[in-house]
Chains A and B, each alone.
Chain A
Amino acid sequence: MHELSIAESIVDSVVQRTGGRRVHVVRVRVGRLTAVVPDALRFCFELATAGTPLEGARLEVDQTDARVHCRACEKDVAVTDLLLLCDCGSADVDVVSGRELQVSSVEVV
């Protein structure tokens, strides 16, 4: 259940930037290649925010699709799982997106 650690890190990084201000919404970007399950993250977020200025805040998860750049055919293609293969069959690819794990914004009073 590493989502609990992730949720705690979210709370820490938000509080660090918002001080004691009450936070009502937290928006996070979670790439599909990260080992983070949004439902588990939401569950843990409720636990991690209790007793903090984020208590009761809504967590909005924006799951970003995974894309790779293929060095063989020089194209960017979407991938649906961790088997990072280009449509041309090459595994010589660079991840362009899908590994994001970021707090994008918050709603504060």
Chain B
Amino acid sequence: MCSTCGCGTDGARITVAGHEHTHDHISGRTDDHSLDRAHEHAHEHPHEHPVDRTHTLELEVAVLARNDHLAEQNRAWLTERGIRALNLMSSPGAGKTTLLERTIAESGTGVSVIEGDQETVFDAERIRAAGARAVQVNTGAGCHLDADMVRRALEELRPDPAETLFIENVGNLVCPALFDLGEARKVVVISVTEGDDKPLKYPHMFAAADLVLVNKIDLLPYVDFDVHRVERDARELNPGLDLLPVSARTGENLTDWYDWISQI
């Protein structure tokens, strides 16, 4: 993204944890315009009256068609290999990476991870230290992963057949809800320290979820958080979703989470 006005698509950076080099796959347009250039442009097109000469082209094209098409390709690639892919979404600090560290430690082999963050490879390194293969996608100014980033991450990661693939989205309860990545299931992690009003405040995210994990339940004695309220509100938005209260720190109820994954 262009640092002048925030426009454009910069290529997300993909880094394999444990490798020093970064793969820059810059795609799309370049960020060669600025506010100044926009001003120059105003003089390149003289004061014509184009409205008289225009005509209408009916397009009827889905705006996210390209993303959805790539997501379907990812889904087909993963399904062919028997790989279960889960898209983990939450606000920053809800405990996604801690949950994955524990999940990797307790489920042994057969797990690989795509980590999404705006910057740093901290999370991919944590995952690698926990014993799984990981690639980091740095989105720069981007606030969510998209299907193209996941496709490129899969090319680097090359998960083995029959593995479980976790895609840890950028911490954000808004934007990731809209972008299909090709996952089999969408999982929203909400921690008890965030407040129990989140489903109604961020309805799109909960409407898209297959599973809500209520994390950090070891802290329930210290906060005003009503798990039943979250469950009721989330089900009003999305009657079909599952909900599991867990603690990634103490391990409480995590067997329910592992069972849920095994049933995908």
The interface of chain A, by Cβ under 8 A from chain B, is 1-2, 4-6, 8-10, 12-14, 17-18, 22, 24-25, 28, 34-36, 47-48, 50-52, 55-56, 81-85, 91-92, 101-109
Contacts and interface: CB of A to CB of B under 8 A. Distances in A.
Given A12-B66, A35-B178, 8 more contacts: A4-B6, A8-B9, A9-B63, A10-B63, A48-B7, A51-B29, A56-B41, A103-B61
A102 B7 contact: no
Interface in B57-86: 57-67
Q: In terms of DSSP, what is the predominant structure of the interface of chain A?
A: mixed
Nearest to B206: A82
B92 interface: no
A9 B70 CA distance: 13
Nearest to A36: B178
A13 B65 contact: yes
Contact of B59 (A55, A81, A106): A106
Given A6-B63, A109-B50, A82 B144 contact: no
B27 to A, nearest CB: 11
Contacts of A14: 59
Contacts of B204: 35, 82
A55 B7 CA distance: 13
B53 A4 contact: no
A102 B29 contact: no
A12 B38 CA distance: 19
Given A34-B178, A35-B174, A47 B66 contact: no
B37 interface: yes
B237 A82 contact: yes
A106 B54 CA distance: 9
Contacts of A56: 41, 45
A17 B144 contact: no
Contact of A108 (B9, B55, B67): B55
A24 B50 contact: yes
Interface residues of B, number: 46
B140 to A, nearest CB: 12
A41 B28 CA distance: 20
Nearest to A55: B41
Contacts of A106: 56-57, 59
A10 B8 CA distance: 13
A35 to B, nearest CB: 4
Contacts of B41: 50-51, 55-56
Contacts of B65: 13
B179 interface: yes
B249 interface: no
B207 interface: yes
B56 A107 contact: yes
B59 A9 contact: no
A83 B50 contact: no
A104 B59 contact: yes
B54 A102 contact: no
B178 A17 contact: no
A109 B57 CA distance: 10
A71 B32 CA distance: 53
B146 interface: yes
